[in-house]
Structure 1
């Protein structure tokens, strides 16, 4: 019996990623562990898991949304909602030029941009100098190849 094919995405925005995007395993295409990145910016700002029904493919990765409205908001402005550094840990890239998984439940929005960190302990370190770590990460992140993965 053949494997069941994944349903077509709700929308495919095309494009190619310009830097690595965190997925749980190399070769996976599910970004942000399936969390709805628009949910960080709406309502009470608590992240919620997205639905496969509202999957938007962006730069080769699948972003899931909890509702059609959230998917439509992402389609209209994907760069606004996609997490900084492809969802990798903001502190690790800024402090060590390293790729470490970003936890969708450990986040901060700074200047209307979503940043994820590895853990609460790491977020405490990041909070000590957010502008400095962002400045360093903005320089470090583009040096990583788009197909690089933390498991490399």
Structure 2
């Protein structure tokens, strides 16, 4: 019973967060509630809001990418802070691309496709995971193994659905 209550409470908090984010639109990096894509990209197909996914591994922090250093992968465009990072990505995109298409890992564990915040990230088992915000990331971090099992089961069922339909 406690688990059901905790799940509902967290889900309500996530929904409130998403609703609050909708009040303050971010036109340049809008996430499409109607998209059935398995990738969390903006209208220009830019992934991770233009952040360099290789830098999470090499610099250990979110780093803005530059359009001059870009690469396409599976329908998304990634920006990098350097040609070296772009080339590392091109050599092994699966190593660097965010899991669950860049959607919030905790959201996926709860059968939701929520926007991923490049500042709320963690590398686990050599894979990059994003969360909708740092508060949700903190909750996700309380049981990463369990949440990854739930997300891994949910992702095949929700990845082709629009966020608004979940």
The interval holding the TM-score normalised by the smaller chain is 0.7 to 0.9
Other structure's SS at 2:58 match:
coil
Partner of residue 97, structure 1: 111
TM-score normalised to structure 2 length: 0.73
Question: Relative to structure 1, is the Cα distance of residues 151 and 48 closer, same or farther in structure 2, using a 3 angstrom cutoff?
Answer: farther
* Cα distance between partner residues in 2 of 1:69 and 1:149: 35
* Cα distance between partner residues in 2 of 1:74 and 1:48: 15
* Cα distance between partner residues in 2 of 1:145 and 1:117: 16
**Mapped pair 1:29 → 2:45:** yes
- Alignment RMSD: 1.5
TM-score normalised to structure 1 length: 0.80
Partner of residue 150, structure 1: 163
Partner of residue 60, structure 1: 75
Shift of 1:47: 1.4
**Larger relative contact order (Cα-Cα within 8 Å, sequence gap ≥ 6):** 1
Decide which of 129, 138, 161 is 1:124's aligned counterpart.
138
**Mapped pair 1:79 → 2:97:** no
Aligned residue pairs: how many?
129
* Cα distance between partner residues in 1 of 2:55 and 2:81: 8
Unaligned ranges ≥5, structure 1: 1-18
Q: Would the aligned equivalents of 1:101 and 1:150 in 2 still touch at CA under 8 Å?
A: no
* Cα distance between partner residues in 1 of 2:51 and 2:146: 27
Unaligned ranges ≥5, structure 2: 1-36
**Mapped pair 1:51 → 2:70:** no
Higher helix share: 2
